[in-house]
Amino acid sequence: MEVLNFADRILSTSGIVKEVGNSGFTEFIIRTEREIVRSLKRKYPDKKFYPASKKVFCYNMKKITLEAILNSLQSLEYEIHVQENIRVKARKALNRMLEISGS
């Protein structure tokens, strides 16, 4: 059987963080990239997290580093094209994040 059949919730990374924060439960089995489990432990030290596997590793997530982002922004090497309706929604979300952060 697939793991999905046993899951209480199937969420995005931000959804997992919100669910844990809003939950009255104190223990969670997390089946996602292992860095997310480490992040949850730091954010919610009063809760316990159990990775479903210690082997879960996302190679593509490890390619994105602060150095790679800086190099990309400085060289303008990579150009991304998105549909206008997606660009508008993304810009709204980015503007809101900047507003919340006080930038």
Q: What is the pLDDT of residues 7-33, one digit of tens each?
A: 788 888 888 999 999 999 999 998 888
Counts for the chain of helices (H) and strands (E), in that order: 5, 2
Whether 1 shows a pLDDT value over 60: the answer reads: no
The mean per-residue pLDDT over the stretch 77-83 comes to 85
Predicted pLDDT at 103: 59
Whether 45 shows a pLDDT value over 70: the answer reads: yes
Q: Which positions ≥6 away from 46 have C-beta within 8 Å? A: 26
Q: Would residue 76 be called left, alpha or beta, if left means φ above 0 and alpha means ψ between -120 and 50 degrees?
A: left
Distance CA 73, CA 79 (A): 10
The mean per-residue pLDDT over the stretch 55-64 comes to 75
- Whether the full predicted model's pTM is greater than 0.85, yes or no, is no
The pairing of beta strand 48-51 with beta strand 27-30: parallel
